[in-house]
Structure 1
Amino acid sequence: MPHPDTESAAASARRATPALELSQLSFAYGARQVLHAVGFRVMPGEFAVLLGPNGAGKSTLFALVTRLFDARRPGSVRIFGAEMREAPGAALARLGVVFQQPTLDPDLSVIENLLYHGALHGLLRAEARRRAMHELARVELADRAGSTVRALSGGQRRRAEVARALLTRPSLLLLDEATTGLDLPSRMAVRRHVRELCATEGLAVLWATHLIEEVPEEARVIMLAAGRVQAEGSVPEVLAQAGAPDLPAAFARLTAAPAAG
């Protein structure tokens, strides 16, 4: 049996390993450079907000992290220490994603969408169903499991996508403009659920948005503009870096005049 001190050291080491670590991440569409040597970390249990205007490069960054695109060298993506190029299976196994564009099949039921996702990830049908109902209950959609996605409201569809992303029990969850098109109560419900998962289950979250009001006071902020990280840290640290009295002023200042480099 492992010594308690050994177990404690191992647990500390796991917590010290970044859930997501980006280094020198660059990308171009032909001659148009979209990302410029982007680097930052998201730690286990952390709710980090990737904040930037439309066109800042947030969705491109997500495409690189999820391996839809391949990063130009020397850039790297590591998920819990697994380098995406060297060990894509190990990296992607720890990852859940809610993309900006809806990806549920509108003509299938909610449960059918989740079961299909489970099958793609090698889950036995009975286990996938058990997990699906558990996740749907957590987002208050268990009673709509048999409904077609087309019959759901926008907020319910987003919550169903969060449930699907959590079906494989990821340790890192990426959400790209997850509340776009939702009303205020729906936006708050999705954000509240995800933040609770950070607090109660140690889930690491990278939440990409252009909406300043979606940044909670306790979040760590990565301000992205013109494909570069303009500021990073707690909200007070970002305000200090921008020399601004509040987050809207910091956002306006950092996105209107991106730093050179």
Structure 2
Amino acid sequence: MPALEVSGLSHAYGARRVLHEVSLRVMPGEFTVLLGPNGAGKSTLFALLTRLFDARQGSIRIFGAELRRQPGLALAQLGVVFQQPTLDPDLSLRQNLAYSAALHGLGRAEARARTSEELARVELAHRAEEVVRGLSGGQRRRVEIARALLPRPRLLLLDEPTVGLDAASRAFVLDHVRRLCQEEGLAVLWATHLIDEVDAAARVVVLHQGHVRAAGTVAEILAAGGAGTLREAFARLTGETREAGP
């Protein structure tokens, strides 16, 4: 069963349509990169997937549960890291995670155990009692990932999670999430405009101006673009020649 199945999804802001019959699929254990330039529609798609916006045209299923008809069942399987920071800077790392755990209905003892476990996995257990304000941008992002994993989701969405991070922080976040896919079977949809965040094992969905231009393995994207490198294929599929590096 697909972790995420999107079929014919469209969305408009008034008369301006920003998504056009988008379809994609993410399987358990897959690291799928939603690759597109700024303004491609990635954040709008994430808002629909998380039900911040209502998806009125098309279908979204999370492990078989249709989001509009079974929102509780669908969203219970989902963890999200949004592009904009969402931690309370004046609370400690542990307090931020405890608050999220309470919203998910976790008991106090279980929440404390899971908080310690997730902070250890992102190498921040030693700073659990410090306030978030004292962390770097990369460390804050690691805490947001730890928080998203507290309720044990089977599908994780990350919207431009490395924006503004230095090279070492980007590498840590990427490696951590990829390991979760490989070792725990977590399904991941990772939205980015950075081509170098696509590794050889990833599946790729190229989104441009609200349209899916190509989807598949890296080899399939190269074939669709008639190119020898992913950067060339991306440029041909989207007409974007200014895709940036880090």
If the length of structure 2 is used for normalisation, what is the TM-score? Answer: 0.96
Distance 2:36 2:28 in 1: 23
Matches within 5 A, 1:246-257: 246-256=229-239
Bigger-Rg structure (1/2)? 1
Q: What is the match of residue 7 of structure 1?
A: none
Q: What is the match of residue 205 of structure 1?
A: 188
**Aligned 8 A contact 2:55 2:68 in 1:** no
What do residues 59-112 of structure 1 show as CA deviations (whole Å, max 9, x unaligned)? 000000000001123x01100000001110000000000000000001110100
Distance 2:188 2:231 in 1: 22
Distance 1:226 1:21 in 2: 20
Q: CA-atom RMSD, angstroms? A: 0.7
The alignment covers a number of residue pairs equal to: 240
Distance 2:62 2:45 in 1: 14
Distance 2:69 2:129 in 1: 40
What do residues 220-241 of structure 1 show as CA deviations (whole Å, max 9, x unaligned)? 0000001010000100100100
The answer on 1:68 being equivalent to 2:70 is no
User: Runs ≥4 in structure 1, deviation > 4 angstroms?
Assistant: none
Distance 1:213 1:132 in 2: 31
Which of these residues, 141, 152, 155, is aligned with residue 138 of structure 2?
155
Distance 1:61 1:236 in 2: 25
Distance 1:145 1:65 in 2: 31
Distance 2:86 2:108 in 1: 21
The answer on 1:221 being equivalent to 2:195 is no
Distance 1:61 1:79 in 2: 14
Matches within 5 A, 1:1-261: 17-73=1-57, 75-256=58-239
Is there any run of 5+ residues in structure 1 with no aligned partner, and where?
Answer: 1-16
Distance 1:213 1:147 in 2: 33
Q: Supply the AA of the counterpart residue of 2:144.
A: E
Q: Supply the AA of the counterpart residue of 1:42.
A: V
* Cα drift, residue 253 of structure 1: 1.3
Distance 1:149 1:253 in 2: 42
Distance 2:133 2:236 in 1: 41
Q: What is the match of residue 14 of structure 1?
A: none
* Cα drift, residue 254 of structure 1: 1.4
| Identity level (%) | 71
* Cα drift, residue 33 of structure 1: 0.5
* Cα drift, residue 199 of structure 1: 0.5
Is there any run of 5+ residues in structure 2 with no aligned partner, and where?
Answer: 241-246
